[in-house]
Structure 1
């Protein structure tokens, strides 16, 4: 695996959550900078060094509610 993708969303209680696609990895943090470190750490813990993806892609999802 060369790349792993995380879907990043704002958490209702504040901060951010990140969920990997195709792997059972989930993490959360209060800031985007902290989330980046949490994601890197989670990937290092989840994969053996020889199987670890070379790239981590964060896909930010922004939801907006507007009046009809």
Structure 2
């Protein structure tokens, strides 16, 4: 695997949730900088062997906005 993609969404209680697409990896953090570290750590834990670990981690950040009409 060359790349792993995480879907990043705002947490209703504050902060962010990140879920890997196609893998059972989930993490969360209070801000985006810490989330990046948490995602990297989660990937390293899920793929302990460096040979099989994805070389690229992509964060797909989704933000939902509601506006009055």
- Provide the TM-score with structure 2 as the length reference: 0.94
Q: Which runs of 5+ in 1 are unaligned?
A: none
Would you say 1:41 and 2:44 are equivalent positions? Answer: no
Partner of 1:54: 55
In 2, the alpha carbon distance for the partners of 1:66 and 1:40 equals 34
Partner of 2:16: 16
Runs of 4+ aligned structure 1 residues displaced above 4 Å come to: none
Q: After TM superposition, give the deviation of residue 49 of structure 1 in Å.
A: 1.6
Q: Which runs of 5+ in 2 are unaligned?
A: none
RMSD (Å), alpha carbons:
0.8
Partner of 2:4: 4
